[in-house]
Amino acid sequence: MAKRNHTRGIVAEIALYGSHENAGWLAQTANGDMMGDGELLQGRTLTEAIWLACREITAAGYTTGKVRVFAPSGYWQATTDLNLAAYYGNLVWEKAIVYAISAKEILAHAETPA
């Protein structure tokens, strides 16, 4: 069954790592599923990392929608189509959203050793 987040059509977020010639990625879907290993692969471009992430997101059942891509710096984000992802150099960047988590929240959800 196809999965889709109808809130602004964002079905996943992709975090890019590395450089233009040694890129890795991690992704989280709208349902909270994590994908990728973040491994920097020599010779892999940031564009290839985006396309690989989109392919894995599609394989997980998301058939339509947009993905939010975060630049390796973490300061910039762009949105592109899941099924026709743009080249990294053609993305339209804007200031990235910031997720703030307090130490209190982290401690509240931390696992306590048995």
Contacts of 104 (CB under 8 A, 6+ apart): none
- Predicted pLDDT of residue 101: 83
The CA distances from residue 67 to 1, 15, 32, 114, in Å, are 19, 10, 14, 39
pTM above 0.85, yes or no: no
Dump pLDDT digits (tens) for 22-37: 999 999 999 999 999 9
Task: Count CB atoms within 10 A of the CB of residue 88.
Answer: 20
Statement: residue 113 has pLDDT above 80: no
The number of residues making up the chain comes to: 114
For residue 60, the one-letter residue type is A
94 lies in some domain: yes
- Predicted pLDDT of residue 52: 96
50 lies in some domain: yes
5 lies in some domain: no
Predicted confidence band of residue 4 (pLDDT cuts 50, 70, 90): very low
Element housing 13 (H / E): strand 10-19
Statement: residue 106 has pLDDT above 90: no
For residue 95, the one-letter residue type is K
- Predicted pLDDT of residue 5: 42
Dump pLDDT digits (tens) for 43-94: 999 999 999 999 999 999 999 999 999 999 999 999 999 999 999 999 999 9
4 lies in some domain: no
Q: Domain residues for 56?
A: 10-109
- Predicted pLDDT of residue 97: 87
Domain count, the chain: 1
